[in-house]
Each structure stands twice: as structure tokens, then as C-alpha cells.
Amino acid sequence: MRPLITSEIRKLFSTKLWLWLLLASMALTALYAALLIGFSDDPDTLTAPLDSAAGQQTLFAVASGGANTLVAVLAAIGITGEFRHRTATSTFLATPRRWKVVAAKLAVYTATGAAYAVVCLLVVASIAGPWLNLKGIDLTLLGNGLPATYAGVVADVTIFAVLGVGLGALVRNQVGAVVGLLVYRFVAEPIVTAVPALTDWTAYLPGSASAALTQVSLSTQDYLAPWAGGLVLAGYGLVLAVLGARVSMSRDIT
């Protein structure tokens, strides 16, 4: 597997997409954090006060939302790009056991996802530190249950990489995979989750399972325990990846 992982690392870093999506994740995280802090004194805010543990956990959890969808997009583009740019021919000539390519991409994109999460958490810390200080709020980075939030963010973004690889492996079509991912995340699931009669079920959807990892949600949706959310989310990713590797990737490369 080592040579294949080296190969996938070189694929990822020999084009600029990883950098653009990292910058976008950082910008999105900064925007979320700034909005959350900026409106924290608003009487209508849904967020707990920022001098409370719950408030600070919510603040750091925005790193999830900043990075997870874009990491899934990066991973999905990474695997569907093999078909879009017809590099799948060279890839599968070098590695005729195609599942190994999927496994190597999972390894590389999950590590990339974890790195994105860490960077986005640092973005939150660098905004929250001085800004909360100005407001006279003491922020202890290792206090108030924040380490559990960091762990949840890293787990969440990492698992989203599995979802991206799995979806890309199954769909193979780049536009289809990316559009499908974005429509699901920002349109389909929010609509379904908003139906009160369904809340027992919607806790098991990927977006709610993702929220369970950080135990932070701005919607009224209940969520699972963090470990359960993580397992459910990883389950979706792995089922997609295994289906993709077994069904879709074994199709003819013409």
C-alpha cells in the first residue's frame, strides 16, 4: 500500500485544488466564527452565551461546517477526476486491483480531512482569542470541554472525506457527485430534517450524525450520542466506498 499512498499524495499535491479548497474552508470557518461572535449579544441569538462552556463549544464547532463539505468535495473530485480526465486508464494499468486505489485514496483523503480540521480550528482560535478577550471573556483553550469539541470536529471532517471518496467511487461522474453532495447537504437534508414528524428518523441522516459528533446544532433536530453519530456517519461513507469499489470501479475503462 505504501507506494500507492505515495502515488495518491503526489496526485493530490500536484494540482492546486487542495489549496483553493483549504483557503475556502478557512474563509468559511472565519465567516461562521465572526458571525457567531458578532451576533452573540443579540437578544434573538440561538447560541448560548460565549462565557459559557456550551457557547464556546458551539463557537469551535463551526470549524466542522467550514471544512466538512469542502473536504468531501475535494475527495469526490479526487476520485471522479480519474474518469473525467481519463487518468483512470494509467491508474488501473499501474494497479489492476482497483479496490487498492480506493483504499489508498481513503487513507490520503482522511489524513487531509484531519489536517483541514486542525487548520480550521486554529482559524477559530485566532479569531476567538483576541475578540473574546476584548469582550472581557476568558477563553481557556483546554477548558470548558473544548478538547472534546476539537476531537468531534476532527472526527467529523475526517469521516466526510470517507463520504466523498465513497460517493465519488460510486457515481464516477464528477459533476453528478459534487452537485449531488451540495444539493443533499444544503437543500435536501435541511428540508427533511425540518419535518417534525420525522425527527426520530432524521437523527440518523448524515448531517445530523455529523452534528452529533460535536453535539452542536443550530436546528431543533435531536442528535445521537457522539460515538453513535460517528459510527453512523462512517457507516454511510464505508458502505458507499465498498459499493463503489465493488460495483462501479470494476466497470470497463473505455
Partner 1 sequence: MTMRETDARIEARGLTKHYGGIAAVDDVSFTVEPGSVTGFLGPNGAGKTTTLRMILGLVRPDRGRATIGGTAYADLAAPLEIVGAALDSTGFHPGRAGLDHLRIYAAAAALPSSRATTVLDAVGLGDVGSRKVGGYSLGMRQRLALATALLGDPSVLVLDEPANGLDPEGILWLRRFLKEYADTGRSVLVSSHVLTEMQQLVDRAVILHRGRLIRQATLVDLAAEHGDLETAFFNLTTDQETRP
Q: Which residues bind partner 1 (CB under 8 A)?
A: 3-4, 6-7, 10-11, 14-17, 81, 85-97, 250, 252-254
Residues shown for the chain: 254
Q: At closest approach, how far in Å is the CB of 147 from partner 1?
A: 36
Q: At closest approach, how far in Å is the CB of 9 from partner 1?
A: 8
Q: Is 127 exposed, middle or buried (0-12, 13-18, 19+ CB in 10 A)?
A: buried
Q: At closest approach, how far in Å is the CB of 100 from partner 1?
A: 10
- Assigned C-alpha cell, 90: 494509467
Write the CA distances from 6 to 11, 19, 108, 213, integer angstroms.
Answer: 9, 18, 9, 30
Q: At closest approach, how far in Å is the CB of 250 from partner 1?
A: 8
Q: At closest approach, how far in Å is the CB of 103 from partner 1?
A: 13
Specify the residue, 14 or 140, whose C-beta has the smaller distance to partner 1. Answer: 14
The closest of 77, 61, 150, 81 to 109, measured between CA atoms, is 77
Strand locations in 10-133, DSSP E?
none
Could you give the residue ranges of the DSSP H alpha helices within 95-223? 98-134, 146-171, 174-183, 189-193, 199-202, 206-214
Specify the residue, 45 or 95, whose C-beta has the smaller distance to partner 1. Answer: 95
Specify the residue, 15 or 220, whose C-beta has the smaller distance to partner 1. Answer: 15
Give exposure, 51-62, as e/b (b: 16+ Cβ within 10 Å).
eeeebbbbbbbb
Specify the residue, 74 or 155, whose C-beta has the smaller distance to partner 1. Answer: 74
Specify the residue, 233 or 245, whose C-beta has the smaller distance to partner 1. Answer: 245
Specify the residue, 79 or 159, whose C-beta has the smaller distance to partner 1. Answer: 79
- Assigned C-alpha cell, 254: 473505455
Q: At closest approach, how far in Å is the CB of 29 from partner 1?
A: 26
Specify the residue, 164 or 230, whose C-beta has the smaller distance to partner 1. Answer: 164
CA distance 210 to 161: 12
Q: At closest approach, how far in Å is the CB of 164 from partner 1?
A: 18
> Is the C-alpha dihedral spanning 68, 72, 77, 78 positive or negative?
positive
CA distance 104 to 20: 22
